[in-house]
């Protein structure tokens, strides 16, 4: 059965909100119709046939294997449809009257996101990306001399250098924790952080899955360790929204940030900031816009009071949540893990001397796979994969990062591994 969010969203899309005399697009079917068609296949037994159907929802250039999820993902047609139709709708009639509907669409998007991440709608701010969410937390806490923030040295600059900049201004200290390069157990990842926590620590700021190593931190355990000591826990989930099942209440973090345009395959320049209810009053807003007094009465909305928004983009966050609901996040997570494991196994089969930055232990990684080979420089491999084999990844130090997603088949992953072997061979 469709969840309330998906049902409500499909109802709105089918009920004319997007259909008000809009010029038709070249896309086939409304977002609602496309999602319903996909839902009809969810129960089918042939798993690979199902994923081929999912792949068809993504209008990626034929033959291109787009494996750069850790940076930017393509969106499926329902999301593109929502963005396109609603953008045209606003451009056809930008009156307050015509744009009145966006209030409801924004509420539905917020509800859909909240349900998707196991939070209350009042705890969700719709931001523009992870960077903005991270900086809202970094800049919004009342820290000063004598206070300490403990971070992971693998955090993204927006959750790493941003703390240094703030510390320089306010006089608190930042301690960077390093974890083992090739961890074998989650205890090896927990222990260095626990050792760093002390009576001065006010914040433990982590990354759920690292974009530079692919390591998945045991964030639930680490948040519990922080909470036991009265320390705030912040989790950057840029690499996990849309890739893993998230239950933020269960995770126990105080703040969680992510982007729509990565694994969530949502609209570009949109994101999510979760602030646990008890912490909303204690976190200062980074930006005060029109209507702030009202926003403050609505929980985390105080953090997305950012002036005129791209309403079509915000509404499409709801479509992206409904898209994930349609497939089922557990099925998506299992698929992403299966594809990452398949990629690792295929690379090992072709290239026995390949080296992995990403841990080989399945529990310590998710969708991000980073590897290198002694016979080829990372930049060369990255470029030749794209230019000669139509495989788009990312350069990562001495190696390359590839992230297969739900728009890849097992054959696609095998092809990517063969392409790597081909480049290494000469
Ligand atoms: C862990 C992490 N945090 C934050 C970001 C920044 O994301 P955005 O540019 O969407 O704000 C990234 C981007 O790769 C990331 O991997």
pLDDT tens for each residue of 297-310: 999 999 999 999 99
Ligand 1 centroid, distance to 156 Cα (angstroms): 6
Judge if the beta carbon of residue 260 lies within 6 A of ligand 1.
no
Does residue 78 sit within a domain? Answer: no
Q: State which ligand 1 atom lies nearest to the alpha carbon of 134.
A: 4
Q: What is the pLDDT of residue 241?
A: 98
Domain housing 390: 330-425
pLDDT confidence band for 16 (50 / 70 / 90)? very low
Ligand 1 centroid, distance to 407 Cα (angstroms): 21
Assess whether pLDDT exceeds 80 at residue 6: no
| Mean pLDDT within 265-291 | 96
Assess whether pLDDT exceeds 90 at residue 280: yes
Please tell me the distance from the alpha carbon of residue 184 to that of residue 179, in angstroms, as a whole number: 11
Q: What is the pLDDT of residue 363?
A: 97
Q: In this structure, what CATH number is given to the domain that contains residue 355?
A: 3.90.1150.10
Assess whether pLDDT exceeds 50 at residue 25: no
Q: What is the pLDDT of residue 253?
A: 98
pLDDT confidence band for 277 (50 / 70 / 90)? very high
Assess whether pLDDT exceeds 60 at residue 382: yes
Retrieve residue 192's tokens. 């260095």
DSSP per residue, 299-323:
GGGGG---SS--HHHHHHHHHHHHH
Q: State which ligand 1 atom lies nearest to the alpha carbon of 133.
A: 11
Judge if the beta carbon of residue 156 lies within 6 A of ligand 1.
yes
60-79: string of b/e by CB count within 10 Å (b at 16+)?
eeeeebbbbbbeebbbbbbb
Q: For a pocket test of ligand 1, which of 219, 259, 401 has the largest count of ligand atoms closer than 8 A to its C-beta?
A: 259
Ligand 1 centroid, distance to 198 Cα (angstroms): 28
Does residue 139 sit within a domain? Answer: no
Ligand 1 centroid, distance to 2 Cα (angstroms): 31
Q: What is the pLDDT of residue 40?
A: 67
pLDDT tens for each residue of 144-171: 999 999 999 999 999 999 999 999 999 9
Q: Which DSSP letter does residue 44 get?
A: -
pLDDT confidence band for 24 (50 / 70 / 90)? very low
SS3 label, residue 15: coil
Judge if the beta carbon of residue 130 lies within 6 A of ligand 1.
yes
pLDDT tens for each residue of 34-67: 666 776 666 555 688 889 889 999 999 999 999 9
Judge if the beta carbon of residue 346 lies within 6 A of ligand 1.
no
Judge if the beta carbon of residue 70 lies within 6 A of ligand 1.
yes
Q: For a pocket test of ligand 1, which of 238, 264, 267 has the largest count of ligand atoms closer than 8 A to its C-beta?
A: 238
Please tell me the distance from the alpha carbon of residue 299 to that of residue 280, in angstroms, as a whole number: 7
With left for phi above 0 and alpha for psi between -120 and 50, is residue 46 left, alpha or beta? beta
pLDDT tens for each residue of 343-366: 999 999 999 999 999 999 999 999
Nearest CA to ligand 1 atom 14: 71
pLDDT tens for each residue of 104-118: 999 999 999 999 999
Judge if the beta carbon of residue 383 lies within 6 A of ligand 1.
no
Tell if the pTM clears 0.85, that is, is over it: yes
Please tell me the distance from the alpha carbon of residue 16 to that of residue 134, in angstroms, as a whole number: 37
Domain total in the chain: 1
Q: What is the pLDDT of residue 41?
A: 66
Q: What is the residue whose two structure tokens read 């420089």?
A: 377
- % pLDDT > 90, the chain: 86
Assess whether pLDDT exceeds 90 at residue 128: yes
Judge if the beta carbon of residue 239 lies within 6 A of ligand 1.
yes
CA-nearest of 158, 205, 210, 220 to 181 is: 210
Nearest CA to ligand 1 atom 13: 71
Judge if the beta carbon of residue 158 lies within 6 A of ligand 1.
yes
- Identify the bridge partners of residue 255 per DSSP, sorted by sequence position: 234, 275
Assess whether pLDDT exceeds 70 at residue 272: yes
- % pLDDT > 70, the chain: 89
């Amino acid at each position: 059965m469709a969840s309330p969010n998906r049902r409500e969203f499909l109802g709105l899309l089918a009920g004319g909100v997007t259909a008000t005399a809009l010029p038709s697009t070249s896309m086939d079917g409304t977002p609602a119709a496309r999602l319903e068609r996909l839902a009809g296949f969810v129960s089918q037994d042939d798993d690979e046939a199902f994923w081929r159907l999912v792949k068809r929802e993504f209008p990626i250039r034929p033959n291109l294997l787009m494996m750069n999820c850790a940076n930017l993902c393509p969106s499926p047609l329902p999301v593109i449809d929502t963005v396109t139709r609603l953008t045209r709708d606003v451009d056809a009639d930008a009156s307050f009257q015509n744009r009145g509907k966006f209030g409801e669409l924004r509420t539905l998007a917020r509800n859909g996101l909240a349900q998707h991440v196991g939070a209350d709608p009042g705890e969700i701010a719709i931001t523009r990306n992870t960077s903005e969410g991270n900086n809202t937390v970094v800049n919004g806490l009342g820290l000063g001399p004598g206070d300490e923030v403990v971070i992971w040295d693998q955090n993204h600059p927006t959750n790493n250098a941003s703390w240094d900049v703030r510390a320089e201004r306010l006089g608190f200290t930042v301690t960077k924790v390093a974890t083992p390069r090739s961890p074998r157990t989650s205890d090896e990842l927990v222990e260095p952080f626990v050792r760093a926590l002390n009576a001065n620590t006010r914040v433990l700021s982590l990354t759920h899955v690292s974009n530079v190593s692919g390591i998945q931190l045991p964030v639930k355990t680490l948040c519990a360790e922080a909470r036991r000591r009265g320390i705030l826990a912040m989790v950057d989930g840029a690499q996990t929204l849309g890739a893993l099942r998230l239950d933020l209440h269960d995770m126990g973090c105080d703040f969680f940030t992510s982007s729509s345009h990565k694994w969530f395959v949502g609209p570009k320049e949109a994101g999510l900031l979760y602030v646990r209810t008890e912490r909303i009053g204690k976190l200062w807003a980074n930006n005060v816009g029109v209507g702030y007094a009202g926003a403050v009465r609505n929980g985390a909305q105080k953090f997305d009071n950012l002036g005129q928004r791209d309403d079509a983009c915000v509404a499409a966050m709801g479509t992206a949540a409904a898209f994930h609901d349609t497939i089922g996040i557990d099925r998506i997570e299992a698929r992403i893990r299966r594809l990452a494991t398949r990629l690792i196994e295929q690379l090992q089969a072709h290239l026995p001397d390949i080296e992995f930055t990403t841990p080989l232990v399945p529990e310590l990684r998710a969708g991000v796979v980073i590897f290198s080979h002694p016979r080829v420089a990372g930049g060369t491999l990255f470029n030749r994969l794209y230019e000669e084999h139509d495989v788009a990844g990312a350069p990562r130090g001495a190696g390359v990062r590839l992230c297969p997603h739900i728009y890849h088949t097992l054959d696609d992953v095998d092809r990517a591994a063969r392409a790597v072997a081909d480049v290494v061979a000469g």
